[in-house]
Amino acid sequence: MSFLGFGNGQPQLSSEQKIAAAETELDLVTDMFNKLVDNCYKKCISTQYAEGTLSKGESACLDRCVAKYFETNVKVGENMQQLGQTFTNAGKF
Amino acid sequence: MDALNAKEQQDFQKLVEQKQMKDFMRLYSNLVERCFNDCVNDFTSSKLTNKEQTCILKCSEKFLKHSERVGQRFQEQNAAMSQGLNR
């Protein structure tokens, strides 16, 4: 990105830009964590509240739920990449 | 990506603290909503019944334990994933 002839290959990011990038990354991770908490709660936790503690079944369900959420994340990423490639190739004349 | 220098890290830390405060308020209001919906269904009285209070207590405890456990697994998965990327 040699804009106005200043660039030397690498884009020079200002402090604001670097902090904004770090913020975006933090937001992304926080967002994923919150979704994980919400969705795995819905799928694993009994709302009868017989106990305040997690039952064995709930704990096992949670561990698997988190692992599967990550796996789903990776799979969707792969699929989107593939779709993106098909799309780009189709756009070439 | 370029690492942040000391000044930038300080600015970022401030941002993180603001976000943590907001996150905590959000957690609190979400927990109220969750336990209210799951535990409070009887409106023949304007006071919480004993049963409702017990349910709310267990609901809060369970949710906090839940998010603690999800947090631990989340960190493990994150670490495993970034290790996979660096290989």
ipTM for the predicted complex comes to 0.82
Residue B68 has pLDDT above 70, yes or no: yes
Q: How far is CA B39 from CA A27, B42, B48, B49, in A?
A: 32, 9, 10, 10
**Contacts with B57 from chain A: Cβ below 8 Å:** 52
Domains of chain A, CATH where assigned? 15-88 (1.10.287.810)
Of the given ranges (A5-14, A72-81, B22-31, B45-54), which has the lowest mean pLDDT? A5-14
> Measuring CA to CA, how many Å separate A42 from each of A13, A36, A50, B3?
42, 10, 16, 38
Residues of B near A (Cβ–Cβ under 8 Å) read 1-2, 4-5, 7-8, 11-12, 15-16, 19, 23, 38-39, 55, 57-63, 65-67, 69-71, 73-74, 77-78, 81
Per-residue pLDDT of chain A in tens (93 residues, 90 and over written 9): 445 555 555 667 888 888 999 999 999 999 999 999 999 999 999 999 999 999 999 999 999 999 999 999 999 999 999 998 888 887 765
What pLDDT is attached to residue B22?
Answer: 94
Cα–Cα distance between B1 and B70 in angstroms, integer? 29
